Structure 1
Amino acid sequence: MATGKVTGPRASRARALAAPLGAALAAGAAVAFVGAVDPNEPGHYPTCPFLMLTGLYCPGCGGLRAVHALVHGDPAAALGLNPVVVVMIPVLAVLWSRWTLRSWRGGPPPGESVRPVYVWLFLALLILFWMARNLPFAEFLAP
């Protein structure tokens, strides 16, 4: 008697791919929303709380506008708004691809595949970017 229920290796692979595919779906929906709702128009998104409280740019300031510019085919404008966001998109795509492949093969979760030294290096670079974009000599990094 067939129940229509998939079991065995195919079912376990489908379950393993649920998280990376769900993450891709959520990211795609967010990018589509930012592409459709212009962050350059006032009132569509809240002001950055760090900018509002301190008057300084955080590492994410200009990120929504950078994604909007990328969706509309303007990588030069996106780089001018937030170069970290633009550089991180291909990095995140590679990490997502590795996660998906490892899930398909039954490998370890994504947290186990990134060496801690890379995480610390990224955080150090992000802090340097954060500080530099608020200094007069690196004004070109401000959104």
Structure 2
Amino acid sequence: MEAVEGRSRWKALAAPLGLLAAGAAGVAFVGLVSPYEAGHYPVCPFLGITGWYCPGCGGLRMTYELAHGRFAEAFSRNALVFVMLPLAAYLWGLWTMASWRGTVVRTRLGSRAAIIALTGSILVFWVVRNLPFGRALAP
């Protein structure tokens, strides 16, 4: 019985560990293939159509800088995504532990207030980085 339980625990970790592996592979790829060189990655469709930065613009360059250990430069490329990384890591950790234990993740981050706060933060960042006084937030 214990062997089956142990095996099912590891099976339950397949999704969180798969996501971790995919994320690590993506970071490794971006770390090796510079987004600063033209032609390696497509232009952001929103930027290409409107000329304005979306909330994700600069994310590849931020990832590249993080992969090379340049944290200040990474922050300057996309401050919002940079600040959200610890939250994403925390949520991934909760998901992994819950999967291992066979429980459900319980957090207030899925509450209506948290979702409104996150959405509002993204929208404010999106608008401000495109205004003259918010140019420091542009990638």
Using the alignment, how far apart are the partners of 1:34 and 1:88 within structure 2? 19
Does 1:70 pair with 2:40?
Answer: no
Distance 1:126 1:120 in 2: 10
Q: 1:115 aligns with which of 110, 118, 121?
A: 110
Task: Select which of 13, 20, 23 maps to 2:16.
Answer: 20
**2:50 corresponds to which letter in structure 1?**
T
- For 1:56, the equivalent position in structure 2 comes to 52
Uncovered stretches (5+) of structure 2, i.e. residues with no partner: none
Q: 2:81 aligns with which of 82, 85, 95?
A: 85
Counterparts of 1:115 and 1:65, CA distance in 2:
29
Deviation track 1:34-87 (CA, whole Å, cap 9, x = no partner) reads 101000000000000000000000000001001101111111111111001211
Amino acid corresponding to residue 115 of structure 1 in structure 2: G
Question: 1:7: Cα distance to partner?
Answer: 5.0
Segments of 4+ moved more than 3 angstroms: none
Q: Please give the alpha-carbon distance, in whole angstroms, between the structure 2 residues aligned to 1:92 and 1:29.
A: 17
Q: Flag the structure with larger Rg.
A: 1
Q: State the distance in 1 between where 2:3 and 2:52 align.
A: 54
- Offset, 1:98: 0.6
1:131 & 1:75 partners in 2: Cα distance? 24
Number of paired residues?
A: 136
TM-score by length of 2: 0.92
Secondary structure of residue in 2 paired with 1:8: helix
Residue 31 of structure 2: aligned partner: 35
SS at match of 2:13: helix
- Kindly report the root-mean-square deviation, in angstroms, between the aligned alpha carbons of the 2 structures: 1.4
Structure 1 residue runs of 5 or longer lacking an equivalent are 1-5
Q: Distance in 1 between matches of 2:65 and 2:40?
A: 16
In structure 2, C-alpha distance between the alignment counterparts of 1:100 and 1:106, rounded to whole Å: 10
- In structure 2, the partner of 1:94 is 90
Q: CA deviation at 1:115?
A: 2.3
